[in-house]
Amino acid sequence: MNKKQKKTLWRILISAAVFVGAVLAAPGLPIPALPLYLIPYLIIGWDILWKALRNILHGQIFDENFLMAIATVGAVAIGEYPEAVFVMLFYQVGELFQSVAVDRSRSSIAALMDICPEEANVERSGQVERVDPEDVAVGETILIRPGERVPIDGVILEGSSTLNTAALTGESLPRDAGPGDDVISGCVNLTGVLRVRTTKAFEDSTVSKILDLVENSTAKKARAEQFITRFARYYTPAVVLGAVALAIIPSLITGDWARWVEQALIFLVISCPCALVISVPLTFFGGVGGCSRAGILVKGSNYLEALARAEIVVFDKTGTLTQGVFNVAAIHPQDCDEAHLLELAALAESWSSHPIARSLREAWNRELDKNRVGSVAEIAGRGIRADVDDVTVYVGNDKLMADCGVAWRPCHRAGTTVHVATQGRYLGHIVISDQVKPDAREAIAGLKAAGVRKTVMLTGDAQAVGEAVGAELGLDEVHAQLLPADKVTWVETLLGEKSPKGVLAFVGDGINDAPVLSRADVGVAMGALGSDAAIEAADIVLMDDKPSKLSQAISMARKTVAIANQNIVFALAVKAVILVLGIFGKANMWAGSLADVGVMVIAVANATRALRLDKNT
C-alpha cells in the first residue's frame, strides 16, 4: 500500500471506531445525535464532498462523487445519520480496495517488464566506466558480464555466451550467441563476458521500444471500455433525474415526503456505477499485461478485443511460416563461374535485410567490400538492383528479370530461384530453399481448433514453393507470386468475405508487408526482436518467432473479453435487482451500500484474473 492508501485506511478505521462509539452511546447521551455522527461522517467523507463541489464548479456534475455526496447529505437532511456515515464508509472501503488492486496489476506488469537496465559498462580510453545507458553513444564498446542485462542493442565483438530472452519473448529456452551475432537489450547474459559494439542509442533500443509500447497500450480502448465511458456519461444524469422523479411524483400523490425522499436517496446510493467503471478497464489492462508476460505485445485493448473475434487469419510466408533462413541448394551459372555469381549476388545484397539477402551473404561467407557497391534499390516483391563495380546488377525473381528485359532460364529444382543478371546479360541463378518453422503445422491446427474459419497464405515467392508449403501445413488457400500491393488487394478481397462481426488478422514478419499489416483489422508482426518496422506497423507483436503463439494470443484475448463481459453483466444485473427492490421500498440504504461495494469487490477480483491468464493457457 502506498502512503495515500494507508492514510485512507486510517481514516476508515478511525471513522468506523467513532461511528460504532456513536451508535452505542447516542441513545444515552443528553446531546443531540447530529454532531456525534457528523464527526465520523466528515472524517471519512470530507474529500468526497470536496471533490463533488469542485467538479460542480468545473461543470462536470454527474460523477460518483456527486452521487455519494448528494445521497449522504440528503440522508443527513432527513435525519438518517448512521446511514449517511455507513454509506460513506463503505464507499471508501470499496475505493481503497480498487486502488490497491489497480496498483497490484500495475506493479506486476512493471515487474514483468522489469527489463530496463540501470547501468552500462562502457570502455572509454582503456578504462571500464559505469554509466547511465542513455549516455552511451552508437558505436561505443560495452562490456556485459554474466548475470547482467544487455543494456543496449548491439553486435558481439568478442566472447560467447548464453542469453536468456525470457523477459522479452516469454521463451524460457536460452539462446547461444557468439562473435558477430546481434544481441538485443533486455536479454540476460548468463554465462560468458561479452564485448559488444552498440548499434543503437538506448532510446532506440528494443527495451525502450517495448516499454513505450506497453505503457501506451492503454490509450487505445476496447469497445467494452468505450461503452462503459459512454454509459457512465448518460447513466449518471439519468439516475439523478430518476431519483428526483422518485422523490417528487409519489410524494405529490401520497403526501408522504419523508418516505419518498429517502427512497430516492437509496436509489442514488445503489445506482453508483463504480464497479463497472473500474473493473472493465482493469480487466483489459490485466489482459494486455498477461499477454506481454507470454511474449505477446498488444498495442491496445481494442486489438485484444478484435483478436478474440478472429475469423480469417492470413499469413505471409517467408520469415513467418518458414524460418526465413535459406540454404543455397544449387548454383547454376551461365557464362561465369559459381564463385563469381555468388559473390556478385552477395555484394548486391550487402545492404538488404531481406532473409534472402542474409542467406546469400552467409553462403558467400567472406568479407564483403561494401565500397564496391554504389547505389542500391530494393524492389519490393521482386529483388534488388545495385551498382557493383559500376555495373548495374539485378538479383531477384522472374518478375525482376522480365522488368530488366533479359532472357532467363527457368529452373525446375524445388526451391526459390534467385536470378542474377547485369544490364542485358543473364549470369545464372542460385536455388535456395527455406524450411517451415517447427511449430507452423501446429500453429495452423491450433487456429482451426480455436474456431478460425479460414487460413490463407500470401507470398511473393513462386507458385510451386507456395503450394508445397501450403499443402505441408494444411492451409486453406495459397496465393503466390504477389507483389506487396497484390497482397493488399488479396487482403481486401478476404475482408469482403468475412462475416460482419468477424475479424481478419494478418501475420507477417514486417519485411515487405507493412502495407498489409496496417490494412488488416489486426496486424500481427512476428519475430520482431530487432525489427523496428514490424514493431511500428503492427498492432500485436509476437516477440519470438513462433506462429503458434497466435492461437495462444487468441485464447487469452477471448478470456479477457469473457471476464469483462461477466463483470458487465454481473454488475448490471445486481444493480437492476437492487434498484427495483429500492423503488418498491424493499431495500434500505445499508443494503444498497453493501451491494454496491460487494459488486465492486467481486468485479475487481474477477478482473485481476486477466493478468494471470498466461498461467492457465
Q: Binding marks (x or -) toward Mg ion, 318..347, rule CB under 5 A?
A: x-----------------------------
Question: Which part of the chain contacts ligand ADP (CB under 6 A), choosing from 88-96, 392-400, 533-541, 580-588?
Answer: 392-400
Nearer to ligand ADP, 277 or 395 (CB): 395
Please give the residue whose beta carbon sits closest to ligand ADP in the complex. Answer: 460
CB of 570 to Mg ion, least distance (A): 45
Residue 461 CB, nearest distance to ligand ADP (Å)?
Answer: 4
Please identify which residue in 316, 378, 434, 596 interacts with Mg ion, judged by CB under 5 A. 316
Contacting ligand ADP within 363-382 (CB under 6 A): 381-382
Q: Which is nearer to Mg ion, 52 or 357 (CB)?
A: 357
Q: CA-to-CA distance for 537 and 368, rounded, in angstroms?
A: 31
Nearer to ligand ADP among residue 261 and residue 314 (C-beta): 314
- 531 lies in the site for Mg ion, by CB under 5 A: no
222 near 306, Cβ under 8 Å? no
Q: Does 460 bind ligand ADP (CB under 6 A)?
A: yes
Q: Nearer Cβ to Mg ion, position 39 or 533?
A: 533
Q: Which does 69 bind (CB under 5 to 8 A by kind): Mg ion, ligand ADP, none?
A: none
* Per-residue interface string for the shown chain with Mg ion, residues 351-390, x marking contact by CB under 5 A: ----------------------------------------
Sequence-distant (≥ 6) Cβ neighbours of residue 12 within 8 angstroms: 44, 89, 92, 93, 96
CB of 519 to ligand ADP, least distance (A): 15
| Degrees, nearest 5: CA angle 354-357-362 | 130
Indicate whether 430 belongs to the interface with ligand ADP (CB under 6 A). Answer: no
Burial class of 573 by CB neighbour count within 10 A (0 to 12, 13 to 18, 19+): exposed
> Is 349 an interacting residue with respect to ligand ADP (CB under 6 A)?
yes
Confirm if 287 and 301 have CB atoms less than 8 A apart: yes
369 catalytic, yes or no?
no
CB of 514 to ligand ADP, least distance (A): 11
Q: What is the smallest separation between the CB atom of 316 and Mg ion, expressed in angstroms?
A: 5
Cα 530 to Cα 15: distance, rounded to the nearest angstrom: 55
Burial of 371 (0-12, 13-18, 19+ CB in 10 A): exposed
For 391-457, give the secondary structure using H, E and C: EEEEEECHHHHHHHCCCCCCCCCCCEEEEEEECCEEEEEEEEECCECCCHHHHHHHHHHCCCCEEEE
352 binds ligand ADP (CB under 6 A): yes
Instruction: Choose between 105 and 512: whose C-beta lies nearer to Mg ion.
Output: 512
Task: Identify residues 289-328 at the interface with ligand ADP (CB under 6 A).
Answer: 316-318
Q: Are 347 and 386 contacting, i.e. CB atoms less than 8 angstroms apart? A: yes
Cα-to-chain-centroid distance, residue 173: 23
- Residue 4, burial from CB neighbour count under 10 angstroms (0-12, 13-18, 19+): exposed
For Cα atoms 358, 364, 368, give the angle at the middle one, nearest 5 degrees.
80
| Of 83, 262, 461, 521, the one binding ligand ADP by CB under 6 A | 461
Positions in 503-542 near ligand ADP (CB under 6 A) = 511-512
198 binds Mg ion (CB under 5 A): no
* 416 touches ligand ADP (CB under 6 A): yes
**In the complex, what is the shortest distance from the CB of residue 323 to ligand ADP, in angstroms, rounded to a whole number?**
12
Q: What's the closest the beta carbon of residue 471 comes to ligand ADP, in angstroms?
A: 16
Q: Which amino acid is at 373?
A: V
Name the residue whose CB lies closest to Mg ion. Answer: 318
Q: What cell numbers appear for 335 in the block? A: 557464362
Catalytic hit among 153, 316, 513, 596? 316
End-to-end Cα distance, the chain: 30
Taking residues 267 to 306 in sequence order and writing x for each that binds Mg ion by CB under 5 A, - otherwise, the string is: ----------------------------------------
Residue 45 as a binder of ligand ADP (CB under 6 A): the answer is: no
Query: What is the DSSP secondary structure assignment for residue 508, as one 8-state letter?
Result: E
Coarse DSSP helix, strand, coil percentages of the chain, rounded to the nearest 5 percent: 55, 20, 25
Element (H, E) at 330: strand 327-333
> How far is Cα 280 from Cα 284, in angstroms, rounded to an integer?
7
Q: Where are the alpha helices (DSSP H) in 222-271?
A: 223-254, 257-270
What amino acid is encoded at 163 in this protein? L
Output the smallest distance, CB 354 to ligand ADP, in A. 4
Active-site positions?
A: 316
In the complex, the residues that contact Mg ion under the rule CB under 5 A are 316, 318, 511-512
In the complex, the residues that contact ligand ADP under the rule CB under 6 A are 316-318, 349, 352, 354, 356-357, 381-384, 395-397, 416, 418, 459-461, 511-512
